[in-house]
Chain A
Amino acid sequence: MATLRAAQPPEPTLLDRVLEPRVLGSLDRVRLRVGHASGDRPGHTRVRSRDDPSGSELERHVAYSPGDDLRRVDWNVYARLGELLTRRFVAEREVPVWILIDTSASMGPIAPRSKLDLACAVAAILGAVSLAGGDRLSFAAVPGRLREARGPVQTVGPLRSRRDLGRLREFLTRLEPASGEGDLIAGLEQATRLVRRGLIVLISDFLFERPVLDGVLDVVARRRCEGKLVQVLSREDVDPDWLRGQHRLIDRETGEDYEIDPSVATWERYREALNAHLEDVRRAGLGRGMSSVVAVTDVGLERFVASELPRLGLSLVR
């Protein structure tokens, strides 16, 4: 008996999954902590774990040492425990958060679980956490374009609360990779021209030549911002063994082709070259005080949030 096969529903994108209310609800109690980044004006509500006597947020207790301000001794603790402990406070400042998404052609194509999809999903997570913490959040696609609007840089923000999630969703869902070769450095310059201090999270595959990489990182560093790099790679970027037999490789961004006759040795050398490149990116970031993580498209988002974001220095506090 013939059966009618039900039409397969379209595969949901990673971004769609992140923006589900259930997932966003689970991120409500997550807070994003930054390192040395701070806002460029008072009142910025960004927290970090730095001792600041002017702060009002209790951070921890430390043993009393002679010379400490007696006003900070916690006498209640002394009454209970008989030990002299002093209270330490941190200052709360507003820090602007910039999430820059590389939408060059190398991040394509538009498809579920593509690099751009993963980049948008990561940006949405970070954005949702930031908005939950009341941060001033801005997005930029560099060099990028929306499906309806053309231009080297597309931005949205500043967003200040969860009420702005609709704008965030609209911005991210309309992102698409650029066609042709783009100038990432120029785009970054344009996108961050108004940025003064703060946190910049740059999401890209970082498959640049070394001068371009240095130029990109220098742009971030010149803004005196705390830089965080999220390197997004696809499974095809990581494992080249999907290439069997002779092929003509075409660069999505530049359109250049390159004929190869891959073998097992070729794959090994590719992996070695990729690892060396990742190490170059990591070292280049560290040299500028930027931490970096790698996200692969087929690795679950939960795993990324649980293991990779803390390594990035972005602590999720519950």
Chain B
Amino acid sequence: MRFGLEHPWWLASLALVLPLIWLYLRPRVRPPAAVSSLRIWRRAVPRAEASTRKPRLPLLFFVQVALLLACAFALSRPFAWDEVPVGPPPDGVVILDLSASMQAREQGATRFAMARDAAVARVREIGARSPHQRFTVIAAALQPRILGSALTAEEAARTLGDLQPVDTAANMTAAVELAATRAGSEGSIDLFTDLAPQDLVVSHDALAATDIHRFGTSDDNVAIAGLEVFANPLEDATQKRVVVTVRNTSSGERTVDVELAPIAAEPDARESAASGEPGPGAVPVGAADPNPAAAAASSPRGTPLRRAVTLGAGASEAVVFTGIPWSGTFAARLHPDDAFPLDDVVYGNVPAPRPLQVLLVSDDAGLKNELSDLARRAGRVDLVTLPVAEWAPERAREVTIFDRFVPTLPPSGNVLYLAPPSGNGDVAVTGTVRGVKLAEIRDHELLRGMKGFDSLLTDSMSVLAAGGDLRPLALGTGEQREHALVVAGETGGRRVVAAAFHLRAEALRRADGLTALLFLVRTLRWLSPSQARAPLERLTGERLRASLRGQAPITRLEGPGGTRILAPTEEITLERAGVYRALGEREETPLLVSFMDAAESTIGRTAIAPAPPRERRPASVAPTAATVRERRPVLVPFLVSALALMLGEWLLIAARRFRAKSAAAGGT
């Protein structure tokens, strides 16, 4: 430990010692004092002592000098400092990759099991060689987690042995950089992964300190890369389609069966996928049918659908299932499974057929007749018409169409405003405009690919003010300004569409009025609400909030990995694929979590010769970690000394006076 001064210039105050010495030793003019006789004085004080004795500094002088020293040093702010290592002494850091690709099978065992066993063996080997070595275990997932620090070899082995892979990617960069900070400049890192070194995006220093233990070379994988369900209440049930995109990531041609199977209560998807056998609740899969149409036609209600597809090396194919005879949640599964079964199963939902409930509020009898006729013919729309004068908020339905009328308060449910007058809270209208020409149609499913949109425009149209949650989909120019013709968006959990024009009844009636009909159907389809009790669909790695807008909060989540209680504002990362039960206070919603990650599904790795791990320095030798000067003020001892010296000075002066008084009293 060494010492220093923060304000050393205060030491200049030590110069006060010099005048103090001078005050004590200065030659003094002795005042004369007449006495009766010197005889007694000569007898009492020998001359050697009286006049020739050397100057003698009293104890008070030394106390005052010490007081000056203490004060000077206290004002100089003394401190003790020492070189201390930054942070704790570096541990041996072990990183285990938990990413989904580590679940790929290699010769009977998964990469993760091989890596975990190797990590445990490595830790025990180092521990046997250096009993004082301590370990930090980091699990590399979407976010790296430090599972323990300063662990003994046995504790680190136990921690590693308890780890399980997750169904997400892993942020290896963050994990290795975190490990590098824990290991320090002299530490070492052992990374157990299936990544090649060139795929690691880390700093040079971190990479230099890292021993990469790599596992896995197999590329035997065909993955479900996408799943899309097409169904809306305006279409016939036989028109529902499911498109499964399959990708072959292996280097050879592969033929697989794609199966769609409804699930009532899906068991743990991982177990089913890993074993290649359907779970207890799954419907048995029939033999592959080379004729998709026949298979679809022959699929009874609730039975799985299956298609075979042959994929070249690295090829992708969209497998389309039409005429889905059932509705509800289903699993799309590949057969036979491969080295990476996790991406062989995804989950989806086919909505149940149900007529869309529409309310038309209009005083245009022609429009009411045309829409009623259209709904009657379509058979999927339950249309109710209402004069403007009879509008009441409680009359609102799933979709409410206001024709040239705006209620004061926005209704519940989704809304289509046609040529609204001065707006309400949903849409702001600033007036009317004439002679507007179509200028631009932006990409949106409402207007995508629509031809002849300008035929919908009328002479006089409302001026819509885009903003807030509504954004313009079609723009026109008129009166030297640009105007929004159609705005749409979600506001307050409701979908709102506003058109600057109204639909003319004759346009719907005419044979060439396809544009108006198409606009109306697309709008109704976009406004059709999702089914009640429709399952939540997520991908692994996504975040799930306990409270979703417009939905009851989730308090408990049951599924793969057990049960988890959620706080009202909690947000969790979905790390396991499978079918969950999201339970709220009163209702239960299925949660379908699928794994679809092209990077993770590409499990092929270039074979490389394993590099021998570097020799680790025995932990008995103290590592030379980076150090920092740690300062500790040592002011208190000087202040206490100064106070003690001041007290001592006072006592000395008081004692001198007391002795003088005592002597005076004793003399008389």
Is A52 engaged at the interface, CB distance under 8 Å to the other chain? Answer: no
Tell me whether A241 and B660 are in contact in the complex, defined as CB-CB below 8 angstroms, given that A266-B44, A272-B44 are known contacts: yes
Name B's A-contacting residues (CB within 8 A).
Answer: 28, 30-45, 47, 50-51, 53, 659-660, 663-664, 666-668
Tell me whether A247 and B30 are in contact (CB under 8 A). Answer: yes
Are B44 and A248 closer than 8 Å at their CB atoms? no
CB neighbours (8 Å) of B31 from chain A are 245, 247-248
Other-chain residue from A107, A250, A271 in contact with B667 (beta carbon distance below 8 A): A271
Q: Which residue of A lies closest to B37 (CB)?
A: A207
Which residues of chain A are near B666, meaning CB under 8 Å? 271
Task: Decide: B30 and A248 in contact? CB cutoff 8 A.
Answer: yes
Tell me whether A205 is interfacial, beta carbon within 8 Å. yes
Interface hit among A38-46, A55-63, A253-261? A253-261
Q: A247-B32, A250-B33, A270-B45 are in contact. Are A241 and B40 (CB under 8 A)?
A: no
Note all chain A residues with C-beta closer than 8 A to B37.
106, 205, 207-208, 251-253
Q: Tell me if A237 is interfacial: C-beta within 8 Å of chain B.
A: yes
Residues of B within 8 A of A209 (CB): 39
Q: Which residues of A contact B38 (CB under 8 A)?
A: 249, 251, 254, 256, 258
B41 near A258 with CB under 8 A, answer yes
Instruction: Name 7 A/B residue pairs within 8 A (Cβ), A-sorted.
Output: A245-B31, A247-B33, A254-B38, A258-B51, A268-B663, A269-B44, A273-B40
Cα–Cα, bound, A207→B37 (Å): 6
Considering only CB atoms, which chain B residue lies closest to A271 in the complex? B667
A-B contact count (CB 8 A): 110
- Contacts A238-B667, A261-B53; A251 near B45 (Cβ below 8 A): no
In the bound complex, CA of A249 to CA of B47 (Å): 12
- In the complex, what residue of chain B is closest to A232 when comparing beta carbons? B36
Decide if B36 touches A207 in the complex (CB within 8 Å).
yes
Give the chain A neighbours of B39 by CB distance below 8 A: 207-209, 277
With A and B bound together, what is the CA distance between A195 and B659 in angstroms?
51
Q: Does A115 contact B (CB under 8 A)?
A: yes
CB distance from A132 to the nearest CB of B (A): 33
A240 in contact (CB, < 8 A): yes
Nearest opposing residue in chain A for B46, CB measure: A269
Measured between C-beta atoms, what is the minimum distance from A175 to chain B in Å? 17
Whole-angstrom distance between the Cβ of A59 and the nearest chain B Cβ: 41
Task: Establish whether residues A246 and B30, one from each chain, have CB atoms under 8 Å apart when the complex forms.
Answer: yes
Task: Report chain B residues within 8 Å CB of A240.
Answer: 667
**List of 8 A-B pairs having minimum Cβ-Cβ separation, nearest first:** A207-B37, A270-B44, A259-B51, A273-B44, A248-B30, A273-B43, A106-B36, A269-B44
List of A residues within 8 angstroms of B50 by Cβ: 258-261
Q: Which residues of A contact B32 (CB under 8 A)?
A: 247-250, 257
Q: Is A274 an interface residue (CB 8 A)?
A: yes
A279 is an interface residue with CB less than 8 A from chain B: no
In the complex, the chain A residue whose C-beta lies closest to that of B50 is A260
A7 interfacial contact with B, CB 8 Å:
no
A236-B659 Cα distance, complex, nearest whole Å: 19
Which of chain B's residues have a CB closer than 8 A to the CB of A109? 34
Contact A234 B36 (CB under 8 A): yes
Contacts of A106 in B (CB 8 A): 36-37
Cα distance A131–B43 in the bound complex, in angstroms:
41
Q: In the complex the two chains form, is A241's CB within 8 Å of B667's CB? A: yes
**Cross-interface CB contact of B36 among A248, A252, A261, A271, cutoff 8 Å:** A252
B47: which A residues are within 8 A, CB to CB? 258
Taking CB atoms, residues of chain A closer than 8 Å to B659 are 264
Q: A257-B32, A264-B663 are in contact. Are A277 and B40 (CB under 8 A)?
A: yes
Would you call B44 and A239 a contact (CB within 8 A)?
no
Excluding A208-B39, A250-B33, A252-B34, 9 further A-B contacts by CB distance (< 8 Å) are: A115-B36, A209-B39, A237-B40, A247-B32, A251-B38, A253-B36, A258-B50, A258-B51, A277-B39
Shortest C-beta distance, B71 to chain A (Å), equals 28
A270 to B35, alpha carbons, bound, how many Å?
Answer: 13
Question: Is A243 in the interface zone, CB < 8 Å from B?
Answer: yes
A42 to B133, CA, bound (A): 128
Shortest Cβ gap from B263 to chain A (Å): 109
Q: How far is the CA of A254 from the CA of B28 in the complex (A)?
A: 25
Query: Per-position contact with B for A159-195: 1 when CB-CB < 8 Å, else 0?
Result: 0000000000000000000000000000000000000
**Chain A contacts with B in 105-162, Cβ cutoff 8 A:** 106-107, 109, 115
One digit per residue, 1 when the CB lies within 8 angstroms of any chain B CB and 0 when it does not, for chain A 293-317 equals 0000000000000000000000000
A252 to B37, CA, bound (A): 7
Q: Which residue of A250, A261, A272 contacts B34 across the interface (Cβ within 8 Å)?
A: A250
CB distance from B393 to the nearest CB of A (A): 100
Contact residues in B for A250 (Cβ distance below 8 Å)? 32-35
> A267 contacts B36, CB within 8 Å?
no
| B201: min CB distance to chain A, Å | 87
Task: Determine if B40 and A207 form an interchain contact, defined as CB atoms under 8 angstroms apart.
Answer: yes
Nearest-neighbor residue (CB-CB) of A240 within chain B: B667
Residues of B contacting A277 in the complex (Cβ-Cβ under 8 angstroms): 39-40, 43
CB neighbours (8 Å) of B663 from chain A are 241, 264, 267-268
Question: What is the distance, in angstroms, from A213's C-beta to the closest C-beta of chain B?
Answer: 10
Residue of B nearest to A247 (CB): B33
A252 touches B667 (CB 8 A): no
Question: In whole angstroms, what is the CA distance A267 to B36 when docked?
Answer: 16
Q: Which of B30, B37, B38 has the most CB of A within 10 A?
A: B37
Query: In the complex, what residues of A have CB within 8 A of residue B664's CB?
Result: 239, 241
Least CB distance from B59 to A in Å reads 13
* Shortest Cβ distance from residue A115 to the other chain B in the assembled complex, whole angstroms: 7
Instruction: Return the chain A residue nearest B51 by Cβ.
Output: A259
User: How far apart are B667's CB and chain A's nearest CB, in angstroms?
Assistant: 4
Chain B: minimal CB distance from A217 (Å): 16
Q: Which residues of B sit under 8 angstroms from A264, Cβ to Cβ?
A: 659-660, 663
Shortest CB–CB separation between residue A147 and chain B, in angstroms? Answer: 21
Q: Residues of A contacting B44 with CB < 8 Å?
A: 266, 269-270, 272-274
Q: How far is the CA of A246 from the CA of B26 in the complex (A)?
A: 12
Chain B's nearest CB lies how many Å from the CB of A181? 11
The docked-state distance in angstroms from the alpha carbon of A273 to that of B40 is 6
**Chain B residue nearest in CB terms to A254:** B38
B45-A260 in contact (CB<8A): yes
B51 to chain A, nearest CB (A): 4
- List A contacts of B668 (CB < 8 A): 238-239
Contacts of A276 in B (CB 8 A): 43
Residues on the B chain within 8 Å of A257, using CB = 32
Q: How far is the CA of A252 from the CA of B44 in the complex (A)?
A: 18
Residues of B within 8 A of A254 (CB): 38
Check B35 against A236 for contact (C-beta < 8 Å): yes
List, in ascending order, chain A residues with CB within 8 A of B51's CB: 258-260
Give A236 to B35 CA distance when docked, in angstroms.
Answer: 8
Shortest Cβ distance from A231 into chain B, in angstroms?
Answer: 12
Mark interface residues in A189-232 (1 if CB within 8 Å of B CB, else 0). 00000000000000001011100000000000000000000000
Q: Are B41 and A267 in contact (CB under 8 A)?
A: no
- Cα(A270)–Cα(B42), bound, Å: 9
A270, B33: Cβ atoms under 8 Å?
no
Shortest Cβ distance from residue A109 to the other chain B in the assembled complex, whole angstroms? 8
Smallest CB–CB gap between A93 and chain B, Å?
A: 38
B227 CB → nearest A CB, Å: 108
What chain B residues lie within 8 Å of A243 (beta carbons)? 33
